Structure 1
Amino acid sequence: MSTPARPANRHHKRPRGEGQWALGYREPLNKNEENKKADDGLNVRQRIIDIYSKGGFDSIDPADLRGRMRWYGLYTQRKPGIDGGKTAILEPEELDDRYFMLRVRIDGGQLDLKQLRVIADISNDYARGTADITDRQNIQLHWIEIESVPDIWNRLEAVGLSTTEACGDTPRVVMGCPLAGIDAAEVIDGTAQIADITSRYVGDKAFSNLPRKFKSAVSGCSAHCTVHEINDIAFVGVTHEGEQGFDVWVGGGLSTNPMFAKRLGAFVRPEQVHEVWAGVCGIFRDYGYRRLRHRARIKFLINDWGAEKFREILETEYLGYRLADGPAPEEPRGGRRDHVGVFPQKDGNFYVGFAPRVGRVDGDTLHRIADIAERHGSGRVRTTVEQKMVILDVAPDQVDSIVAELEAVDLRVNPSTFRRQTMACTGIEYCKLAIVETKATAVKLIDELETRLPGFTEPLTINVNGCPNSCARIQVADIGLKGQLVVNDKGEQVEGFQVHLGGSIGVNPNFGRKVRGLKATAEELPGYVERVVRNFDKQKNEGETFSEWVQRADEADLK
């Protein structure tokens, strides 16, 4: 694997206290940095195989258990029965269960049927049937025992999948459009560029100790389905002087300090993508802030530097050449970004996108999806960044049959707005950071809204998050729900949500509006959402989106 050259010029002014390597600040300034300096996270793999899988959970070194094992997609899951009020109070070892969440990375969301069936088998054999499709196109399994991990890796790697750097301070999965190469409206197919980045750099120790996680996307989708505005780095398909290539964006991210990515204004040719990716990742590694974890994402660096300086450093210190100036992407095509429904491919076949409930499936369902796809002549399925799935390459005479089979097992090809556009993070069921339940709450909300508002068909995103970290992208949802404990009308502390309204990405990106004091208990949630959606439905102007309406609505109509 190639290692990019270290930058020669290290004289950019920034207080040394931020812990930037490029300024000579190599001493670790927190426990995470100490742990990474002591041993590269990638080295834990052999210990898992040789020691931990044989000695069991109690043999695992704590520094590996709560640190380096993430480099291979492994997190301890939350011990059952610990309520959300204790999340921030208990020590890590008190929250840890003896089981793991395991994240399978699916770069570009691309799976063949053999790969899908292997994940399904692992789910059934080792994960109590669990499987969640994430909003970054991965599949997460739960209840994994350390003794099972080597066999799981062998099975995954035999079909070209892995868990390498699925978590940790590393380059995470590279997202891509699930329709890459088949969509007649795409600007450019980014499949080769995703493969180039992952084959060169995933598992490369040049990039295995970043200040924090590094999220990437490469797509030429005309619907902008990979949400480039909120990735650490994103390549967006553009046409420049008759040539197809990419516009590069850096520094997007949500969590407790949301920022939209900044355009560097550079045109990147297809063959340059991996070099530009490595350069941006290298800047993050060398100049990124390592003192405070909550300021260690690349968004803080580019926010301080600005896009112009960032591009200059990229070109002069990392690439060694100037990039051409290029155009901004076209506005995303109208409608939803999720690719749910039946649509023509450019080869005359069709793709069929369908909506599980908030990404929750299971091993048997994954097998069923593979069987349905195979019966209808397809060998390829895709995951989306909206917790959905797509089956490709369906012949015209097979469309009605495949739709009927998917719908019959509750995989909706023609879902309600609420089924289609509600997402939820893992929540307190398994996550040690969560304060409230999310998946079951979101499923109940969908069912209630379908009953209460059967005629509502406008686009409306509802994103449910179990804590402030925004894994489910609450700040850019029409209705973003941030889990917290609230007091009900009986004076009891119960699970509930702070409400963010009117967030959006795309044509008019903005973060959701927090209405003073606007919180709802989990029990009140269906009634609250019904009320605000009815107000929107009554008051909206022709063509007005929910986000646009929220910006002008009276606070009374939002409560």
Structure 2
Amino acid sequence: MKSFRTEIENPVVEKDILELEQKIQKFKNGTIDDEKFRSLRLARGVYGQRQQGVQMIRIKLPYGKVTSKQLLRIADVADEYSTGRLHITTRQDIQIHYVDLERTPELWAQLEKDEVTLREACGNTVRNVTASETAGIDPNEPFDVSPYAQAVFEYFLRNPIGQEMGRKFKVSFSATAADTGLSYMHDLGFIAKMENGKRGFKVMLAGGLGSQPRHADVLYTFLPTDKIIPLMEGVIRVFDRYGERKSRAKARLKFLVKDLGVDGFKALLKEEEHALEQFVYPIDYQSYPKPKIAQIPIPVVKINDPAAFNQWKSTNLVAQKQDGFVAIGIKVLLGDFYTDKARLLANLVQKYAAAEIRLSLRQNILIPHVRVGLVPFFYQELSKLGFAEAGYNKALDITACPGTDTCNLGIASSTGIAKELERVIKAEYPQYVNNPDVVIKISGCMNACGQHNMAHIGFQGMSIRTKEKLVAPALQVLLGGGNFGNGKARFADKVVKIPSKRGPQALRLILDDYEVNGNGLLFEAYYQAKGEQYFYNFLKPLTITDNLVQDDFIDWGNSEKYKKEIGIGECAGVMVDLIATLFLESQEKIGHAQEALQEEKWAASIYYAYQSMVNSAKALLTAEHTKTNTHASILKDFDRLFVDSGRIQFTGSLSDIVLQLNKSRPSKDFAKTYVDDAKMVLEQLQSFRQSELAHV
């Protein structure tokens, strides 16, 4: 590996990348254990693949905005360090695969030349901030949410309060009441609103997908824009202290709010208010960069197939509030495209549009600010790239996660079945190319990265066992999900589980019945009118497994017999720490706290000191084989086992020392005192540990 000290202008970024480089070497030398190293690299966008010895790199792209320069940079990096394939995720990121671990610092350094980051793209952090891809151009939006999404991204990037939570934290912004940002399935969802001429957001709290989807609660019907960052900081602080950490299955915010109730959660938020760095945080939306639209003569274009052109226009043009402009949607099959096309696309929007694209939550691309007169030219140029397929955001546009292609957690193929279902729709149901009211989504496992449980028709990868104990790939069929707007939605019902190779037949049965009995209703209304049992009855014959043939034991896109293999999930795994490692982390956090003091970042310094003290307490509880499920329980149990019993002497309790955090304003004097307290706690607890070991 090479040094990047002379290549990176931002010293904070340089330090980050050098730390990754150093930790990789320590991991290779065996001086950092695997669990500790995993946590560090995940927070820097480096994710283990299903294939041994290579990594998936997740590139964090706030609200899906990518400039032409950034896309060209990403393409160069993908060619140099990966396979040249780019994958758009359902969170508006780009992933590249098959990267050598030791080359990841160098890769990151190259991306940062055009302000593209990997930081906090994975791990137990604040993930990519997503938003409606039409933000800034939507005719129905009260205002552009992009500046607010950007402000949230910047404020929480590298913020110590969101670096080591029990699980990941997801945020979205919806441009309109249509809620295309899907607020109802996020930890925090913001829907743009105007009230008495003032900008604000409806705020949704603690939604989520996964094996136990939960509809978010309404936290505020209207919150002024200058309150959203203080609110989010408070929510994260409460989640960090009271959220589950040991049991991964219960560690999301949705479980904490379910247990506490919204009022109980609000009470804890109230307790944090005094500790917030700022009670209001104005966001200067007027300084957000305005689009610079290319001024160029409109080329003369001859359309050779007017019917195909008109079909494309009917599905792929998106209305724009700016007069004389439209946006163009590009349907990207499974979110996968290659660097040769990426470069040509970047140059096209640089020269003829506003030098930016937006990645969508449905794994597509939107080109905003295209002059109406340039539409025929864009169709011609996009056709050359294979980017002019009709059906953008229509039924034909199926969303799917990578599944067993590259993901450790994949149980069955999602990409293979998605390709087959698209083929079936094109060949047998061409009318659905124009249908925006049937949404089909597929996930390779229960974790719902393909968002299957919010679809009208969803499929979840599973396995199925025959009476002869043979294992075949399977699909859970889910029906009836829907987004009703303004934070209201319905999750799909699990109807039947069928062998994967019968997925196309299930789709045919559902669509055939909808054609005959839908009576002009939207799909979700049709499903509600008929009821779950109705669909179970006509799909039940597909569940029979005593008539499987050899092909049923081969998954889509594969040639070998199916074998159920599930690796260790890394996306938000909970660390299992050794005691020495915990004390080492505590020392590192005190170092971070002292650096923040020198930089006059009082709030950051205080939070690093807080983390150090909790971590030190966790170390001794781990030695006692005591559960360390939440920060709050760590403090309570530490006082019970060590302070109340007299084994360790403090003035008062450890809780009294640590929880000064939310009783004092983040001032210079308090920060200094609090860091000194953290040093004292670490020294005393390490001394106790050494004394205990000496008597073993």
Give the alignment's TM-score, normalised by structure 2.
0.65
1:533 Cα deviation (Å)? 0.7
1:255 Cα deviation (Å)? 0.6
Asked if residue 446 in structure 1 is aligned to residue 422 in structure 2, the reply is yes
Asked if residue 499 in structure 1 is aligned to residue 477 in structure 2, the reply is yes
Asked if the contact 2:405–2:413 (Cα under 8 Å) also holds between the matched residues in 1, the reply is yes
- Supply the AA of the counterpart residue of 1:273: I
Q: 1:441 to 1:269 in 2, by over 3 A?
A: same
Cross-structure match for 1:75? 47
| Cα separation, 1, equivalents of 2:394 and 2:316 | 13
1:480 corresponds, among 458, 462, 473, to: 458
Deviations for 1:388-408, whole angstroms, at most 9, x for unmatched residues? 111111112111211232244
1:497 Cα deviation (Å)? 0.5
1:387 Cα deviation (Å)? 0.7
| Cα separation, 2, equivalents of 1:531 and 1:209 | 47
- Where do residues 159-174 of structure 1 align in structure 2 (5 Å cutoff)? 159-174=114-129
The SS at the match of 1:455 is helix
Structure 2: state its 5+ residue gaps.
Answer: 1-13, 281-314, 541-696
Asked if the contact 2:316–2:392 (Cα under 8 Å) also holds between the matched residues in 1, the reply is no
Asked if the contact 1:403–1:413 (Cα under 8 Å) also holds between the matched residues in 2, the reply is no
2:203 corresponds, among 248, 256, 269, to: 248
Cross-structure match for 1:551? 528
- Where do residues 375-414 of structure 1 align in structure 2 (5 Å cutoff)? 375-412=351-388, 414=390
1:123 Cα deviation (Å)? 1.4
The SS at the match of 2:431 is coil
| Cα separation, 1, equivalents of 2:105 and 2:220 | 45
- Where do residues 30-109 of structure 1 align in structure 2 (5 Å cutoff)? 45-50=17-22, 52=24, 61-79=33-51, 97-109=52-64
Deviations for 1:95-128, whole angstroms, at most 9, x for unmatched residues? xx11000100111111110001111111121111
Q: 1:534 to 1:265 in 2, by over 3 A?
A: same
| Cα separation, 2, equivalents of 1:500 and 1:180 | 30
Cross-structure match for 1:463? 441
1:149 Cα deviation (Å)? 1.2
Asked if the contact 1:124–1:364 (Cα under 8 Å) also holds between the matched residues in 2, the reply is no
Cross-structure match for 2:243? 288
1:58 Cα deviation (Å)? 8.3
1:64 Cα deviation (Å)? 4.0
1:467 Cα deviation (Å)? 1.0
| Cα separation, 2, equivalents of 1:394 and 1:433 | 40
- Supply the AA of the counterpart residue of 1:447: R
1:123 corresponds, among 65, 78, 82, to: 78
1:43 Cα deviation (Å)? 9.4
| Cα separation, 2, equivalents of 1:145 and 1:367 | 24
Asked if the contact 2:395–2:440 (Cα under 8 Å) also holds between the matched residues in 1, the reply is no
Cross-structure match for 2:190? 235
| Cα separation, 1, equivalents of 2:418 and 2:438 | 14
Asked if the contact 1:498–1:519 (Cα under 8 Å) also holds between the matched residues in 2, the reply is yes
| Cα separation, 1, equivalents of 2:393 and 2:35 | 44
Deviations for 1:506-549, whole angstroms, at most 9, x for unmatched residues? 2562221222xx2233322112201211101110122x121222
Cross-structure match for 1:6? none
Asked if the contact 1:44–1:64 (Cα under 8 Å) also holds between the matched residues in 2, the reply is no
Asked if the contact 1:207–1:281 (Cα under 8 Å) also holds between the matched residues in 2, the reply is yes
2:499 corresponds, among 518, 521, 534, to: 521
Deviates more, 1:151-160 or 1:46-55: 46-55
1:536 corresponds, among 493, 507, 514, to: 514
Asked if residue 424 in structure 1 is aligned to residue 400 in structure 2, the reply is yes
Q: 1:318 to 1:302 in 2, by over 3 A?
A: same
Asked if the contact 2:27–2:37 (Cα under 8 Å) also holds between the matched residues in 1, the reply is no
| Cα separation, 2, equivalents of 1:354 and 1:488 | 42
1:163 Cα deviation (Å)? 0.6
Asked if the contact 1:170–1:214 (Cα under 8 Å) also holds between the matched residues in 2, the reply is yes
Deviates more, 1:133-142 or 1:526-535: 526-535
1:286 Cα deviation (Å)? 1.6
Asked if residue 341 in structure 1 is aligned to residue 317 in structure 2, the reply is yes
Q: 1:304 to 1:64 in 2, by over 3 A?
A: closer
The answer to which structure has the higher strand fraction is 1
Q: 1:249 to 1:112 in 2, by over 3 A?
A: same
Deviations for 1:111-154, whole angstroms, at most 9, x for unmatched residues? 11000111111112111112110000000110011222122111
1:222 Cα deviation (Å)? 4.2
1:164 Cα deviation (Å)? 0.4
Structure 1: state its 5+ residue gaps.
Answer: 1-41, 80-96, 324-338
1:61 Cα deviation (Å)? 4.1
Cross-structure match for 2:213? 258
The SS at the match of 2:161 is helix
1:455 Cα deviation (Å)? 2.2
| Cα separation, 1, equivalents of 2:111 and 2:328 | 26
| Cα separation, 1, equivalents of 2:25 and 2:377 | 45
- Where do residues 191-206 of structure 1 align in structure 2 (5 Å cutoff)? 191-206=146-161
| Cα separation, 1, equivalents of 2:160 and 2:330 | 38
The answer to which structure has the higher helix fraction is 2
1:413 Cα deviation (Å)? 5.7
| Cα separation, 1, equivalents of 2:81 and 2:235 | 38
1:437 Cα deviation (Å)? 1.5
Asked if the contact 1:127–1:142 (Cα under 8 Å) also holds between the matched residues in 2, the reply is yes
- Supply the AA of the counterpart residue of 1:361: F
Higher Rg:
2
Q: 1:401 to 1:279 in 2, by over 3 A?
A: same
Cross-structure match for 2:663? none
- Supply the AA of the counterpart residue of 1:224: D
The alignment yields a C-alpha RMSD, in angstroms, of 2.7
Runs of 4+ residues deviating >6 angstroms:
53-60, 319-323, 416-419, 488-491
Asked if residue 180 in structure 1 is aligned to residue 135 in structure 2, the reply is yes
Deviates more, 1:488-497 or 1:293-302: 488-497
The SS at the match of 1:509 is strand
Q: 1:390 to 1:232 in 2, by over 3 A?
A: same
Asked if residue 150 in structure 1 is aligned to residue 130 in structure 2, the reply is no
1:315 Cα deviation (Å)? 3.7
- Supply the AA of the counterpart residue of 1:466: G
Asked if the contact 2:134–2:175 (Cα under 8 Å) also holds between the matched residues in 1, the reply is no
Cross-structure match for 2:413? 437
| Cα separation, 1, equivalents of 2:505 and 2:480 | 18
Q: How many residues align?
A: 483
| Cα separation, 2, equivalents of 1:360 and 1:521 | 26
2:93 corresponds, among 111, 135, 138, to: 138
Cross-structure match for 1:269? 224
